């Protein structure tokens, strides 16, 4: 221990965390330091002989972290979330009407449902088309309400084009995974996979944002915990029935994965106006192609 009077302050803050971070920076460089409290301030002291080197190291640390979190990480409240919800609702209702009226003499459920054997046997587009098919009015209304609610919440940080496209991708991957897990005779329809993909996307995006912001551990994991609680409340029925729990689970999983990916700098870059338009167009084209394949190549 160095003698009294040979210590000099090189940093001070009301946040003890900031002081501890800089203490670790100096320790990594082999510079001995001491923390002290004074007038509600946390102070970092070093030996006077190390002061010049310590100040240089701390200045370098400040420069390296001046732009952290990255400026291209996702901002809050991007446009297009409600517009995307409107398109989502129109597509669900239109497909339900076509199915219920057997429009054009087509058996929409037979050609578009996610039949596990068919999905894995050469008709993967069913993983997408099945999202727009529903058993009855109650089924579609519940998915419409919760889909819009969680969809808007999940897509506001990402933007409408990118966000709703991400929900579509996560839900399709969820249905593909579900077909791989379930028995060959398993059949799944409904947008609930997309609903839980939105829940996962929301949780994953917010987790990544807080992680990049170096927030406290509890605050970082809170979005993941909330996503899991929503899944437990709405995705797992108290009594077994027609609810496809595995589809909810796989939708949530892929939503979390995509949220974690898009919640960082990549989402910032893809979320440009051009990226939003491209994402929206690709999503709509994918839906159109999936139904084209279903109606022309389906069995």
Q: The CATH number of the domain where 30 resides is what?
A: 3.30.70.1530
**Same-domain pairing of 112 and 250:** yes
Nearest CA among 84, 193, 187 for reference residue 128: 193
Can you tell me the distance from the alpha carbon of 31 to that of 207, in angstroms, rounded to the nearest whole number? 34
**Same-domain pairing of 93 and 167:** yes
**Same-domain pairing of 159 and 280:** yes
**Same-domain pairing of 287 and 192:** yes
**Same-domain pairing of 54 and 119:** no
Domain count, the chain: 2
Residue 69 lies in a domain: no
Residue 26 lies in a domain: yes
The set of residues, in sequence order, having a beta carbon less than 8 Å from that of 226 and lying 6+ positions away, is 203
**Same-domain pairing of 46 and 167:** no
Tokens of 251: 């939708």
The pTM assigned to this predicted structure is: 0.76
**Same-domain pairing of 56 and 98:** no
Can you tell me the distance from the alpha carbon of 101 to that of 104, in angstroms, rounded to the nearest whole number? 9
**Same-domain pairing of 214 and 275:** yes
Residue by residue, pLDDT tens for the chain (299 residues) are 344 458 898 998 888 888 888 898 888 888 889 888 877 788 899 988 888 999 988 888 887 776 555 444 445 567 899 999 999 999 999 999 999 999 999 999 999 999 999 999 999 999 999 999 999 999 999 999 999 999 999 999 999 999 999 999 999 999 999 999 999 999 999 999 999 999 999 999 999 988 877 777 888 899 999 999 999 999 888 766 678 999 999 999 999 999 999 998 888 889 889 999 999 999 999 999 999 999 999 87
**Same-domain pairing of 101 and 23:** no
Q: DSSP string spanning 213-244?
A: TT--HHHHHHHHHHHHHHIIIIIS-SS-SS--
Look up tokens 């597509």; give the residue: 91
Look up tokens 């919640």; give the residue: 263
Find the domain containing 39 and state its range. 7-64
**Same-domain pairing of 232 and 278:** yes
**Same-domain pairing of 148 and 178:** yes
Residue 120: which CATH number? 1.20.1540.10
**Same-domain pairing of 58 and 100:** no
Residue 71 lies in a domain: no
> What is the C-alpha radius of gyration for the chain, rounded to an integer number of angstroms?
26
DSSP state of 2: P
Residue 70 lies in a domain: no
Can you tell me the distance from the alpha carbon of 277 to that of 27, in angstroms, rounded to the nearest whole number? 49
Look up tokens 């919800």; give the residue: 85
Can you tell me the distance from the alpha carbon of 162 to that of 156, in angstroms, rounded to the nearest whole number? 10
Last residue of a domain, one of 64, 91, 113: 64
**How many CB atoms within 10 Å of residue 69?**
15
Tokens of 29: 């460089």
Nearest CA among 111, 124, 209 for reference residue 158: 209
Nearest CA among 185, 177, 183, 199 for reference residue 247: 177
């Amino acid at each position: 221990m160095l003698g009294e009077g040979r210590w000099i302050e090189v940093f001070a803050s009301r946040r003890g965390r900031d002081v501890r971070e800089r203490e670790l920076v100096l320790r990594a460089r082999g510079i001995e330091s001491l923390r002290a409290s004074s007038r509600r301030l946390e102070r970092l002291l070093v030996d006077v002989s190390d002061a010049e080197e310590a100040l240089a190291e701390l200045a370098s640390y400040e420069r390296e972290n001046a732009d952290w979190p990255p400026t291209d990480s996702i901002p809050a409240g991007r446009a297009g979330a409600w517009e995307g919800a409107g398109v989502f609702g129109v597509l669900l209702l239109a497909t339900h009407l076509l199915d219920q009226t057997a429009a054009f003499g087509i058996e929409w459920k037979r050609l578009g449902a996610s039949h596990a054997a068919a999905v894995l046997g050469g008709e993967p587009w069913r993983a997408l088309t099945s999202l727009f098919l529903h058993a009855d009015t109650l089924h579609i209304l519940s998915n419409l309400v919760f889909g819009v609610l969680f969809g808007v919440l999940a897509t506001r940080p990402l933007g409408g084009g990118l966000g709703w496209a991400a929900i579509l991708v996560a839900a399709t991957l969820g249905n593909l995974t579900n077909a791989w897990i379930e028995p060959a005779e398993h059949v799944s329809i409904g947008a609930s996979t997309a609903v839980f993909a939105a829940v996962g996307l929301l949780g994953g995006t917010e987790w990544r944002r807080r992680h990049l912001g170096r927030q406290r551990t509890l605050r970082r994991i809170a979005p993941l915990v909330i996503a899991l609680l929503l899944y437990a409340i709405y995705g797992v029925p108290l009594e077994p029935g027609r609810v496809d729990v595995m589809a909810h689970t796989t939708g949530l999983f892929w939503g979390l994965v995509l949220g974690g990916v898009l919640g960082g700098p990549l989402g910032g870059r893809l979320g440009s106006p051009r990226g939003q338009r491209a994402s929206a167009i690709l999503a709509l084209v994918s839906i159109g192609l999936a139904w084209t394949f279903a109606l022309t190549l389906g069995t």
